[in-house]
A and B are shown apart, each in its own frame.
Chain A
Amino acid sequence: MIRHAFVIAASLVTFIIPNALGLAAWFVAGGLDPVIRSLTAILGWVIGFGLSTQVFWRIIQRAFPGDVR
Chain B
Amino acid sequence: MNPLILAGVGVFCGLLSYVVARYLSVKFVKMDITGNDIHKPGRPVTAEMGGLSVLFAFLIGSVVIMTVSDGPITLVAGVATVAGAGLVGVADDLTNMKQRYKPFLIAAAAIPLMYVLWGPHEIQIPLIGLLPVGYIFPLAVVPFAVAISANFTNMLAGFNGLETGSAILAIGALTLLAGVEGSFAATVIGVILVCGYLGFLKLNWYPAKIFPGDTGTLMAGAGIASIAVLAGLEFAAIIVSIPAGIDFALKMVARRPFSGRKIFGNTRIDEQGHLKAASYPALVHAFMRAEPTTERGLVVSVLGMEAVYAALAVAVTLLSR
Contact = CB atoms under 8 A, between A and B. Distances in A.
Q: Is the interface of A mostly helix, strand, loop or mixed?
A: helix
B301 A68 contact: no
A43 interface: no
Interface in B20-49: none
A54 B252 CA distance: 11
A66 B289 contact: yes
Contacts of B250: 53, 57
A6 B123 CA distance: 33
A11 B242 contact: yes
B305 A11 contact: yes
Interface string B106-127: 0000000000000000010101
B12 interface: no
Interface in A34-69: 34-35, 38-39, 41-42, 49-50, 53-54, 56-57, 60, 63-64, 66-69
Interface string B129-151: 00111101000000000000000
B184 interface: no
Contact of A7 (B125, B131, B249, B287): B287
A56 B246 contact: yes
Interface string A1-28: 1011111100100110000000100100
Given A1-B301, A8-B304, A66 B277 contact: yes
20 contacts: A4-B291, A5-B304, A7-B286, A7-B287, A11-B243, A11-B305, A15-B312, A35-B132, A35-B136, A38-B123, A38-B131, A38-B132, A38-B133, A56-B246, A57-B281, A64-B286, A67-B279, A68-B280, A69-B254, A69-B280
Interface of A: 1, 3-8, 11, 14-15, 23, 26, 34-35, 38-39, 41-42, 49-50, 53-54, 56-57, 60, 63-64, 66-69
Interface of B: 123, 125, 127-128, 131-134, 136, 239, 242-243, 245-246, 249-250, 253-255, 277, 279-281, 285-287, 289-291, 293, 301, 304-305, 308-309, 312
